[in-house]
Amino acid sequence: MIALPSTTAFLPIEPIVFALALALAVVVGTVVHEWSHALVLQATGIEYEIAYLPDRAGGPVATVVGSRWAVVRPKPTGSEPAWALRLAALSPFALAPVAVAFAQLPAGPVATAVAIGWLACALPSPRDFAVAVHGHRALAAAGTPSTVGGRLAGNRHAETQ
């Protein structure tokens, strides 16, 4: 009689669990990343708006793969200090200790995936760094006619992502 392998030999569960935990950590981490911007903007008195999936690109796969998932758009009046925008732009760094805490859990695919996904969301985006470096420009132009809806016309660096 020929022994057939068990069905679990064909389906490696650990990579699937890793992928699901990583995806969940990135989704949750992205939302918390944007909320960290909003929290600092709220605390410093700068008005803002949060948009989820602001540039939907068609179907669900194209939306997830080809567009931003969330964005915080500050609406400065020009009277705020530049450090407030800079601090808001760099606020996702505060999420890093959570990733370090997950890395301290017993080794396993879920803890590793969550630590990697969360740490990826703790890094400010290139736009965030642009706001941190050029925040004073956004504030200087905030009261001029070249601003539209709180965002600098033609300058997407006034948004944090």
Q: What is the dihedral of CA 17, 53, 93, 42, to 10 degrees?
A: -130
pLDDT of 20 > 80? The answer is yes
State residue 34 phi and psi, 5-degree precision: -65, -40
Q: Which residue has the higher pLDDT, 62 or 40?
A: 40
In terms of Cβ atoms closer than 10 Å to its own Cβ (0-12, 13-18, 19+), residue 8 is exposed
Residue type, 75: K
Identify the weakest region by mean pLDDT among 21-25, 132-136, 142-146: 142-146
User: With contact defined as beta carbons under 8 Å apart, do 148 and 73 qualify?
Assistant: no
Task: Give the model's pLDDT for residue 24.
Answer: 93
Name residue 52's beta-bridge partners.
Answer: 70
Candidates 53, 84, 42; CA nearest to 161 is 53
Q: Please report which confidence band the pLDDT of residue 152 belongs to, taking 50, 70 and 90 as the band edges.
A: very low
